[in-house]
C-alpha cells in the first residue's frame, strides 16, 4: 500500500493522507489526547461510517455517531443546531474531536460545527467522494447555506488532517464521480495544465476510479489546493482563483434548489467564465473550445436554460467575491494565468450567457 502525504502549510499545518485502504492512519491524525470523537455522516450511508467508527474505537477512543441528512440538505442552521445540542449531551469538550465522513456537504457541515462549538474543537475530515477529496475537505473553508445563497455563513478553520481513502471511490455512483471531475478539470485550467493533458489522453479512464491516471489526477488537484490555501487561507488574494467558474455555478445551484450536482454547475460555470474571458478580449476561441471539449468528453454539461438568466443574474449579486454592488470575476488570461474583472457591463455578462445558453 503506497501512502502519499501532501502537506498544507499555513498557521496550522496539516497533512492530506492519500492511498487505498488507509483508515489505519486515522488515529494518528486525531492524536493521543482526544477522548471522545463525534463522527458526523450521512444518515442514508451508515456503511461508509461503520469502518471509520470501527477504526477509531479500535484505537481506544469513545465514538459518538451522529447521522445527518444527505447532501446540501445537511447544510442548514437547523441541522447545525441539532449537532451542537448533541455535542452538549455527549459532553464534547475542547480536548475531544469531530470527524466528518462523506461528501463535500457533510465535511463542510462538520467543519463548521467543529469550528463554532466551544469556539473551536479539532476536526479530521474523511471525504468519501471525489469532489470531497479534491476540493471540499481540503482548505479549511467551512460553511452552511441560507435561503439567500450557498456557503454564505461559515468560517476559515483548518482541519487537523484529511484522510482520502481511494478505496471508497469504487462505491461512488458514476454520475457523482463524474461530477467531481469538474473540480479536477478546473485545477488544470487555473494551475496545472498537465491535468488537462492526462484527461485528453484517456477521457473514458478519467471517468473511472480505477482509471490509469486517476490517482495522479487526484493528487495533482490536492497539491494545487494545498499550495493555494497554504499561502492564502482567508481568500485575501491568491485563493480567489479556486472560485473560477463558481459565480454562475452557485447561482445555478440556487435556481435548481441544490438538486443539481455541484460539479455539474461548476462545469457550466467554467464555460461561462471562459466565454466572458473571450468576450473581454483576454483569451481566444481555442481555449473556450478546449473547455467545452474536455468537459463534454467526460460527460459533464456545458449549457443551461436561456430563460433562467434574470433569476441567475439576481442570485449572482451575493457572490462572495463581490465588492459592494460590483460583481468581481476571476478570469483566464491564458492557461494557468488569471486576473480579476471587476464590475463588467451588463451587456457583456448577458452576451457571455447567451453563448452558454446557445
pLDDT on residue 287: 98
CATH 3.40.50.1970 positions along the chain are 4-171
pLDDT on residue 324: 57
Is 321 noted as a catalytic residue in this protein?
no
What CATH architecture is 228-357? Up-down Bundle (1.20)
Is 183 noted as a catalytic residue in this protein?
yes
Is 290 noted as a catalytic residue in this protein?
no
Cα–Cα distance for residue pair 95/311, rounded to 1 Å = 46
Cell of 338: 488569471
Q: What topology does CATH give the domain 4-171?
A: Rossmann fold (3.40.50)
Active-site pick, 41, 145, 151, 183 = 183
Active-site pick, 250, 254, 278, 282 = 250
Kindly give the confidence (pLDDT) of every residue in the chain, 358 residues in length, as a single tens digit, with 9 standing for 90 and above: 699 999 999 889 999 999 999 999 999 999 888 999 999 999 998 898 999 999 999 999 999 999 999 989 999 999 999 999 999 999 999 999 999 999 999 999 999 999 999 999 999 999 999 999 999 889 888 999 988 888 889 999 999 999 999 999 999 999 999 999 999 999 999 999 999 999 999 999 999 999 999 999 999 999 999 999 988 777 777 888 999 999 999 999 999 998 999 999 999 999 999 999 999 999 999 999 999 999 999 999 999 999 999 999 999 987 655 555 689 999 999 999 999 999 999 999 999 999 999 8
Pairing state between β 62-68 and 36-42 = parallel
Is 90 noted as a catalytic residue in this protein?
no
41 is in an annotated binding site: no
Is 315 noted as a catalytic residue in this protein?
no
246 is in an annotated binding site: yes
Is 235 noted as a catalytic residue in this protein?
yes
String of DSSP letters for 210-228: T-TTHHHHHHHHHHHHHHH
Active-site pick, 33, 89, 119, 257 = 119
Cα–Cα distance for residue pair 161/26, rounded to 1 Å = 9
Is 186 noted as a catalytic residue in this protein?
no
Pairing state between β 328-334 and 122-127 = unpaired
Active-site pick, 141, 261, 282, 328 = 141
pLDDT on residue 319: 67
* Residues 6 or more apart whose Cβ sits within 8 Å of residue 82: none
CATH 1.20.1090.10 positions along the chain are 228-357
Amino acid at each position: 500500500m503506497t501512502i502519499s502525504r501532501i502537506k498544507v502549510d499555513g498557521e496550522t499545518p496539516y497533512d492530506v493522507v492519500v492511498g487505498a485502504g488507509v483508515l489505519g492512519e486515522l488515529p494518528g491524525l486525531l492524536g493521543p489526547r482526544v477522548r471522545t470523537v463525534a463522527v458526523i455522516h450521512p444518515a442514508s450511508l451508515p456503511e461508509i461510517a461503520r469502518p471509520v467508527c470501527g477504526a477509531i474505537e479500535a484505537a481506544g477512543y469513545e465514538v459518538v455517531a451522529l447521522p445527518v441528512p444527505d447532501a446540501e440538505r445537511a447544510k442548514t442552521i437547523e441541522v447545525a443546531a441539532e449537532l451542537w445540542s448533541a455535542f452538549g449531551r455527549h459532553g464534547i469538550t475542547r480536548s475531544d474531536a469531530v470527524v466528518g465522513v462523506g461528501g463535500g456537504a457533510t465535511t463542510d457541515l462538520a467543519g463548521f460545527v467543529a469550528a463554532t462549538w466551544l469556539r473551536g474543537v479539532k476536526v479530521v475530515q474523511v471525504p468519501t467522494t471525489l469532489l470531497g477529496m479534491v476540493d471540499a475537505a481540503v482548505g479549511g473553508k467551512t460553511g452552511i447555506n441560507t435561503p439567500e445563497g450557498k456557503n454564505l455563513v461559515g468560517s476559515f478553520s483548518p482541519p487537523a488532517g484529511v484522510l482520502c481513502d481511494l478505496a471508497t471511490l469504487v462505491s461512488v455512483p458514476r454520475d457523482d464521480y463524474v461530477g467531481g471531475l469538474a473540480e479536477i478539470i478546473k485545477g488544470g485550467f487555473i494551475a496545472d495544465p498537465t491535468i488537462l493533458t492526462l484527461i485528453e489522453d484517456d477521457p473514458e479512464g478519467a471517468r473511472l476510479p480505477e482509471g490509469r491516471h486517476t490517482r495522479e489526477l487526484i493528487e495533482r488537484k490536492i497539491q494545487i489546493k494545498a499550495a493555494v490555501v497554504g499561502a492564502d487561507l482567508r481568500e485575501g488574494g491568491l485563493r480567489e482563483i479556486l472560485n473560477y467558474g463558481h459565480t454562475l455555478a452557485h447561482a445555478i445551484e440556487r435556481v435548481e434548489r441544490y438538486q443539481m450536482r455541484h460539479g455539474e454547475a461548476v462545469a457550466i460555470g467554467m464555460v461561462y467564465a471562459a466565454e466572458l474571458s473571450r468576450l473581454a478580449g483576454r483569451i481566444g476561441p481555442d481555449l473556450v473550445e478546449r473547455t467545452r471539449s474536455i468537459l463534454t468528453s467526460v460527460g459533464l454539461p456545458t449549457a443551461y436554460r436561456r430563460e433562467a438568466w434574470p433569476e441567475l443574474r439576481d442570485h449572482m449579486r451575493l457572490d462572495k467575491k463581490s465588492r459592494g454592488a460590483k460583481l468581481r470575476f476571476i478570469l483566464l488570461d491564458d492557461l494557468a494565468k488569471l486576473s480579476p474583472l471587476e464590475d463588467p457591463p451588463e451587456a457583456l455578462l448577458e452576451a457571455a450567457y447567451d453563448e452558454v445558453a446557445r
